[in-house]
Amino acid sequence: MISILIVDDNSLKVADIKQVLYEYPEINNKINVVADTNNARRLLEENKYDLLILDLVLPNDFGDEESPDNGVDFLNEIKLDPNKKCPYHILGITGKPEYIEKYSSDFSKNLWFLIEYQAGVELWKELLRNKIEYLIDSKRDIQLLNVLDYDFDVAIITALDKELKKILALDWKWKEKPMVNDKTSFYIGQFEKGKSTIRVAAACTPQMGMCASSTLSMKLIHHFKPKYLIMSGIAAGIKGEVNLGDIMIADEIWDASSGKIKGDKDKGSLFLPDPKHKTLSEDIKEVLLKIKRDRKYLNQIQENYQAESPQTILNLHVGPMTSVPAVVQSNREIEKIRTQSRKLIGLEMEAYGVFYSAAHAPKPKPTAISVKSACDFADEEKGDTFQDYAAYTSASFIYELVMNELTF
C-alpha cells in the first residue's frame, strides 16, 4: 500500500529505519534502498514513491566523497526536474546534529522535515512512525473515496453470442478491451449525451445459467464499476401475457428452483418453493411504465427490423419474471412455475444472478435491469424462428433507454 525509497549509505542506520518500517504490514516489501544520489535519480525517473527518506550526507556515486551539499542539491532537483516523479512526502534524516539547523530550511520551505537520527534513541522512531501512520491513513481514505465513485455508466451482460452481437451493433464506438489476468472478452464504447461522455461496457457469459451470469456480473462490476448493470437478450414469454418479440422487463425476479424437495409416501417427491425476490428500482419502473403508456420507441424499433418478424404489434411489459436452471419446453412445467406468481410474464436462465450480484456487490452498487424479449413460449412448440428478432428488440430498447431515459 505504501511505497518508500531510502537514500542512505549507512547500513546500520538503514537497518534501524527498516526495522521501524516493517512494523507496518501496509508497507510489506515496497521499500527500495540506494546509497547514492545518482541511483536515487534513476529510481525517481521510474517510480512514484509515497515517501522518500533522505540522508543528508551522501555521495553522488558509490565510493565518491560524501557531502551534505550532494543531499541538498538532490533535494532541490527533485522538485524542479520534470523527468523525476517527486515523492508525495520527503523526510530528511541525518546522524549529524551539526547539520540540523543549517539545512532544515531546505526541507521546511516545502513543508518537509529534517530530523536527527541517534542509534538507541526512540524520538526519531516516533517521528517516523507518525509520518508512516499519517501516510497509511491518508492513502486509505483516498482509496475509499475512489471506490465509492462509479467509473463506467453502463455495463451490459448477455448469455449468448448472438445477443452480444446485437449490442455491439449499437452505435457506441465499440472496441475490445483486454484485461490483465482475465481472458473474458470485454468491449467498451462511448457516446456523447449533452456535455457528458457516457461510457459503456459489454460482455457475454461463456455459458447459460445463473452461475455464469453472476460470475460475469461481478467481473463487470470489478473492472468497470458501472452505475447500471443491464441484462440483454432473449427469454420465454408466457402465452396469453406477451406476444413473440415483445420486450419484457422484470420488476421482480427470483430463482424458481429455490426451495425444498420433500418426500411424500403418496405423491412421491414434492417441491416446496422458497423464492428470494430481487426487485427493480421503483424510479426506473416509473420511467418504464410511462414508456409503456406512451408507446415511446416501440413502433420505430419494430419498423427498423428488416427480416421476418411476428405479425403482432411490438409491446413492452413490466412484470414478474423468474430464472430457471434449465431450458423449459413443457406446458406442464410452465404451469408449475406459474403457481409461484400468477402474474408471471416470462422466464429465462440468468437475470436473477445479475440482480443478486448487483445487490451484493461492494459499494458503489450498480442498479440492475433485465431487458429480455420473448422468442418463444417454452412449450412443446418451442422454436428458434424469432430469436434474432427478440435479441434485436431487446438491444434496441436498451439503446433507447440508455440514450434517452437513464440519468447519469
- Nearest residue to 210 (alpha-carbon basis) of 322, 336, 317, 377: 322
Beta strand pairing status for 175-179 and 89-94?
unpaired
- Nearest residue to 75 (alpha-carbon basis) of 92, 50, 63: 92
Tell me what percent of the residues of the chain surpass a pLDDT of 70.
98
Q: What is the pLDDT of residue 146?
A: 61
Q: What is the pLDDT of residue 1?
A: 76
Per-residue pLDDT tens over the stretch 217-254: 999 999 999 999 999 999 999 999 999 999 999 999 99
Answer whether residue 148 shows pLDDT above 90.
no
Per-residue pLDDT tens over the stretch 86-143: 999 999 999 999 999 898 998 888 888 899 999 999 999 999 999 999 998 888 877 7
Q: What is the pLDDT of residue 314?
A: 97
Lowest mean pLDDT among 4-8, 24-28, 150-154, 388-392: 24-28
- Nearest residue to 151 (alpha-carbon basis) of 214, 230, 228, 231: 228
Using the structure block, give the residue that is written with the C-alpha cell 462511448: 190
Q: How far apart are CA 367 and CA 214, in angstroms?
A: 14
Q: Which domains does the chain have, with CATH numbers?
A: 4-147 (3.40.50.2300), 154-405 (3.40.50.1580)
Answer whether residue 16 shows pLDDT above 80.
yes
Q: Are 291 and 405 a contacting pair, CB within 8 Å? A: yes
Helix-, strand-, coil-residue percentages of the chain, each rounded to 5: 35, 25, 35
Using the structure block, give the residue that is written with the C-alpha cell 429455490: 258
**Confidence class of residue 271 from pLDDT cuts 50, 70 and 90?**
confident
The more confidently predicted of residues 355 and 266 is: 355
Q: Are 373 and 192 a contacting pair, CB within 8 Å? A: no
Q: Are 238 and 334 a contacting pair, CB within 8 Å? A: yes
Determine if residue 170 is left, alpha or beta; phi over 0 gives left, psi from -120 to 50 gives alpha, anything else beta.
beta
Residues 6+ apart with CB under 8 A from 407: none
Per-residue pLDDT tens over the stretch 288-314: 999 999 999 999 999 999 999 999 999
**Confidence class of residue 28 from pLDDT cuts 50, 70 and 90?**
low
**Confidence class of residue 211 from pLDDT cuts 50, 70 and 90?**
very high
Q: What is the pLDDT of residue 261?
A: 86
Residues 6+ apart with CB under 8 A from 131: 51, 89, 91
CA distances from 176 to 201, 202, 225, 262, 393 (A): 9, 9, 17, 48, 24
